[in-house]
Amino acid sequence: MSKAKNPIGIFDSGIGGLTVARAVKNILPNESIIYFGDIAHLPYGDKSASAIQAYSIKITDIFLKSHCKVILIACNSASAAAYELVREYVGSKAKVFNVIDPVINYIRENYVDISVGLIGTKQTVGSNVYKKKIEDLGNNVHFKSLATPLLVPMIEEGFINGRISNDIINEYLSNTNLQEIQALILGCTHYPLIKDKVDEFYQGKVDVLDTSEIVAASLKAYLEYNLLLNKNDNADHQFLVSDYTSDFEELTRRFFGEKVKLEKYPLWE
């Protein structure tokens, strides 16, 4: 039986991954999404790889029970720490996507002989996953990176368009680690919300890559190619969280573009 009508499972450490879910919903409006935000364990950006792997497998089990056709790891930190393990665990039951490989493919297709920068959490940058994958491309793309841990709490607290956020963004982007780049990967779920500010900083001289859009486009191409697109327009979304607070529910407005109802679904009882 075709899996085309089955949902797409998307997970993140919290509600930041809703930027990815939003990009998926915009480009694939017929697809049903089950979103899981592991609020009880956030932030993943400061956690060990083994802790993130354990959470990711638990969440994957929820998606497998719901017969998801695709499991999309929306969190960069979990993509860096747990993708290989989740893929092995899932086997042929579903296609597993991360948010790193589509960006690497985009770089392969669009750039040669340039310097590309990455900003992300300590986990993402420290894992060196982007570095290894970009070096493996062999197209003379030089890689530079900087962990920018203040950006996640800054964005969650709503500091996006003012003096404080401008100072923090300018300070990070002026860092010597990121000099003379021609493209910058926004390697974190939260960063699409400050893309305009990053663009303003570079004044068009650097391509700022919104990974959520690149990932959604790659997911669409996969579904099309494998005849897995849902042709019915009865999409039904579910938003599960391992811990609930009304503050997080309120924050969904910022990340998803509309407020959604969060359902508590503890990972461990």
Q: Which residues bind ligand DGL (CB under 6 A)?
A: 12-14, 16, 42-45, 75-77, 120-121, 124, 152, 188-190
C-beta of 6 vs 124, nearer to ligand DGL: 124
C-beta of 42 vs 134, nearer to ligand DGL: 42
Helix 163-173 and helix 195-202, axial crossing angle in degrees, nearest 10:
60
Please report how close the Cβ of residue 81 comes to ligand DGL at its closest, in angstroms. Answer: 10
70-73 and 8-12 beta bridge pairing: parallel
Which entry of 20, 28, 81, 188 is annotated as an active-site residue? 188
Cβ-based burial of 34 (10 A; exposed 0-12, middle 13-18, buried ≥19): buried
What three-state secondary structure class fits 115? strand
Please report how close the Cβ of residue 41 comes to ligand DGL at its closest, in angstroms. Answer: 8
Please report how close the Cβ of residue 110 comes to ligand DGL at its closest, in angstroms. Answer: 22
- Our answer to whether residue 188 is catalytic in this structure is yes
Among residues 57, 60, 107, 98, the alpha carbon closest in space to that of 76 is found at 98
Which entry of 24, 39, 75, 90 is annotated as an active-site residue? 75
Tally of CA atoms within 13 A in the half-sphere of 161 that contains its CB: 2
C-beta of 6 vs 56, nearer to ligand DGL: 56
Please report how close the Cβ of residue 223 comes to ligand DGL at its closest, in angstroms. Answer: 23
Q: Distance from CA of residue 254 to its chain's centroid?
A: 15
Contacts of residue 84, defined as CB under 8 A and 6 or more positions apart, other chains included, come to none
CA pair distance 117, 187, nearest whole angstrom: 10
Among residues 101, 98, 192, the alpha carbon closest in space to that of 151 is found at 192
CA pair distance 238, 256, nearest whole angstrom: 13
- Our answer to whether residue 68 is catalytic in this structure is no
C-beta of 6 vs 218, nearer to ligand DGL: 218
Please report how close the Cβ of residue 250 comes to ligand DGL at its closest, in angstroms. Answer: 17
Please report how close the Cβ of residue 94 comes to ligand DGL at its closest, in angstroms. Answer: 21
Contacts of residue 16, defined as CB under 8 A and 6 or more positions apart, other chains included, come to 74, 75, 152, 156, 188, 189, 190, 255
C-beta of 41 vs 230, nearer to ligand DGL: 41
C-beta of 9 vs 16, nearer to ligand DGL: 16
Give catalytic residues, as residue numbers: 75, 188
